[in-house]
Amino acid sequence: MSKRILCKFFLHGACLKGEYCEFSHDWQDQPNNICTFYQKGVCSYGNRCRYDHVKVSRQQTSRPSSLNTASHVTSDFHQVTLPPVVSLTREYNPEPSTSVDVSAMSLAHTLPCKPAWTKAFEVDTSLNDESGPCPTYVSPADQPICSFAASGKCPRGDRCPHIHGDLCSICGKHCLHPFRPDEREEHIKMCHKNNKHLEALKCSQEIECSVCLEHVLSKPTAAERKFGLLSECDHPFCISCIRNWRSNSPASGMDVNSALRACPICRKLSYFVIPSVIWYSTKEEKQEIVDSYKIKLKSIDCKYFDFGNGTCPFGTSCFYKHAYRDGRLEEVVLRHLDAEDGSTIIAKDIRFVSGFEGG
Amino acid sequence: MLDVSRVQKELAECNRDTAISGVSIALHDGGSDLSRLSGTISGPVATPYEGGTFQIDIRLPSGYPFEPPKMQFVTKVWHPNISSQNGAICLDILKDQWSPALTLKTALLSLQALLSAPEPDDPQDAVVAQQYLRDHQTFMATARYWTEAFARRSSVGIEEKVQKLVEMGFPEDLVRSTLESVNGDENQALEMLCSS
């Protein structure tokens, strides 16, 4: 059942269980965003809580806290029961004052149901008494690794009943599961990627903008701490400086095509600027930044196209999404004109005005 | 809004290696307005401007560095691309070819390069350009004469100048600040000291 609920740890890219996780690792599934504290009537965050404050019907609340926390600790997914039809009734905070004013800790003691963290702790200690997980029915690959060791240091050291993961040479944590090769590989891959990003960020700190002569990543406001990559050359500028220069009005005497759109250093023409928090060191890295930027823009509706109501001056070469209200994408229609020498040329958006001028 | 921090950085950077580059920038008249500066370039060797020191008035528009600085020769100079009347300069990088990656120092260095490589086909002063093309010898002589007459700075070191003026009875710190404000011109400094 819980396989349909998106794993919260996976959501943050930090699930240590991989394919052995009892929660879904499929992005299509929805995460369970129900506040377990609210289910018990006490959430100290009140209406500021980031989780959903909804009442779940009685039978589901039988083990509400085991949904997220306990099940992850015990990996005993039989405990987790959730009816196929979840009837949720949203409540718009009926008693916000009590839930805010009374501290969660003190009230939890008066309630019959113990808070989730106490339960998790109990499970932990019981395992400790058993001197390790029962080897009869649990294969090593099915056991989770010690999360203390995985996040840095396990206070129990060698006496810990859980398996301690192998050391990841990149992040320096004992988080590689000894019996799950796929997961190991995945982690190492992720770690490599993160590490590369950090390295790139470190190198980027030193890069200076040639216009304001400041370190780009040390600019006073966060919005300015970004590079503006030019598509055709590799000279670094901060995004605000390069945009400022390119948006300079031609009335100032500068030529748009030979000066404003050119790189201030090498004067090579670039037709667009890509914002990026890191500075690249290889061509591939740059391409990656450019591609992901384009993909991001392609998911945003173009304000000029306006779902077909307006006209976009960039036409089919616009970076933004040209889709109608019903989700249909704008068709790319290329008008072919037969040139005199027999070859075919593709006409760009033919305008009313140009027709008159040409005619 | 003038980018004050950039201008300050530029000034520090430019004046770090004045002896090698031959260009320097100071605040205009020793004032505190960063948008009014005065630059100095030394005449390039093996040209009729050799030995001269040329003063350039620099005004920074509020859009600097996205707009070019306004530069004009204060020292009279005989050159096809510089007006012999008002010192206006004809140089593309100060107009439509400006780039925000250029600095006041690089602009001054470009002026220095312009002195050694005139462009008579794109003149600012038609009379000088005509002379440059038709009677090169006279041009060279006139340019050299103008350098001697208007751009010559005495070869005496600054310390000697200070000593000379102090001996005339002016207080030393006043002498130093005055000399600095007129870029070491001894006669101008004397004039200022006498009139104050």
What residues in A contact B67, CB-CB < 8 Å? 248, 252
- The rounded distance, in Å, linking the Cα atoms of B110 and B95 is 13
Two tokens, residue A333: 């229609």
What mean pLDDT is predicted for residues B115-138?
A: 92
Distance, in angstroms, between A207 CA and closest chain B CA?
15
- The rounded distance, in Å, linking the Cα atoms of A222 and B128 is 54
What residues in A contact B63, CB-CB < 8 Å? 248, 252
Distance, in angstroms, between B54 CA and closest chain A CA?
27
pLDDT at residue A348 in the model:
54
pLDDT at residue B127 in the model:
92
CA distances to A44, A234, A282, B152 from A286, rounded to whole Å, are 46, 9, 6, 54
pLDDT at residue B58 in the model:
94
CB A233 within 8 A of CB A266: yes
Chain B touched by A253 (CB under 8 Å): yes
* Contact yes or no for A259 and B10 at CB 8 A: no
* Contact yes or no for B96 and A254 at CB 8 A: yes
- Optimal mutation site among B9, B99, B105, interface A, most CBs of chain A within 10 A: B99
Q: Which fold has domain B4-151?
A: Ubiquitin Conjugating Enzyme (3.10.110)
What residues in A contact B3, CB-CB < 8 Å? 212
Q: Whole-angstrom distance between the N-terminal and C-terminal Cα of chain B?
A: 35
CB B151 within 8 A of CB B77: yes
- The better pLDDT of the pair B50, A123 is held by B50
Q: Which residues pair with A215 in a beta bridge?
A: A208
> Which residue from B6, B65, B99 is facing A259, i.e. has the nearest CB?
B99
Surface of A (186-245) touching B: CB under 8 A: 210-214, 235, 241, 244-245
* Of A178-182, B100-104, B141-145, minimum mean pLDDT range: A178-182
Distance, in angstroms, between B100 CA and closest chain A CA?
6
pLDDT at residue B194 in the model:
84
What residues in B contact A255, CB-CB < 8 Å? 96
SS3 A110: helix
**Tens digit of each residue's pLDDT, chain A (359 residues):** 556 788 888 777 777 777 778 888 887 777 777 888 887 777 878 778 888 887 765 444 444 444 444 444 444 444 444 444 444 444 444 444 444 444 444 444 444 444 444 444 444 444 444 444 444 566 777 777 888 888 777 888 888 888 888 888 888 888 888 888 888 888 888 888 888 888 888 888 888 898 998 898 888 888 888 999 999 999 999 999 999 888 887 666 677 777 788 899 998 999 889 999 889 888 998 999 999 999 999 999 999 988 888 888 888 888 999 888 888 888 776 666 565 565 555 555 544 444 344 33
* Contact yes or no for A245 and B67 at CB 8 A: no
* Contact yes or no for A259 and B98 at CB 8 A: yes
Specify the pTM.
0.60
What residues in A contact B5, CB-CB < 8 Å? 212-214
What mean pLDDT is predicted for residues B114-120?
A: 93
Residue of A nearest to B8 (CA): A213
Residue of A nearest to B66 (CA): A245
Find tokens 């530069």 and name the residue. B71
Q: Which residues pair with A31 in a beta bridge?
A: A6
pLDDT at residue B182 in the model:
77
What residues in A contact B104, CB-CB < 8 Å? none
* Contact yes or no for B100 and A264 at CB 8 A: yes
Distance, in angstroms, between A247 CA and closest chain B CA?
10
- The better pLDDT of the pair A137, B70 is held by B70
pLDDT at residue B77 in the model:
93
Domain spans in chain A, listed from the N-terminal domain onward: 32-129, 132-204, 216-298, 306-358
- Optimal mutation site among A208, A211, A256, interface B, most CBs of chain B within 10 A: A211
- The rounded distance, in Å, linking the Cα atoms of A78 and A359 is 78
- Optimal mutation site among A216, A254, A265, interface B, most CBs of chain B within 10 A: A254
Distance, in angstroms, between A231 CA and closest chain B CA?
18
Chain B touched by A10 (CB under 8 Å): no
CB A21 within 8 A of CB A5: no
What residues in A contact B6, CB-CB < 8 Å? 211-214
pLDDT at residue A236 in the model:
92
* Contact yes or no for B65 and A210 at CB 8 A: no
CA distances to A32, A155, B143 from A123, rounded to whole Å, are 22, 17, 96
> Which residue from A210, A252, A254 is facing B101, i.e. has the nearest CB?
A210
Residue of B nearest to A250 (CA): B96
Kindly tell me if the per-residue pLDDT of B110 is higher than 90: yes
* Contact yes or no for B98 and A211 at CB 8 A: no
pLDDT band at B164 (very low <50, low <70, confident <90, very high): confident
Distance, in angstroms, between A264 CA and closest chain B CA?
5
Distance, in angstroms, between A233 CA and closest chain B CA?
14
Residue of A nearest to B97 (CA): A259
Which sequence positions of B are flagged as catalytic?
Answer: 90
pLDDT at residue B172 in the model:
86
Find tokens 């200022």 and name the residue. B192
Q: CA B105, B110, B111, B117: dihedral to nearest 10 degrees? A: 160
pLDDT at residue A99 in the model:
42
What residues in A contact B99, CB-CB < 8 Å? 259, 262, 264-265, 267
DSSP 8-class letter at A166: E
pLDDT at residue A222 in the model:
82
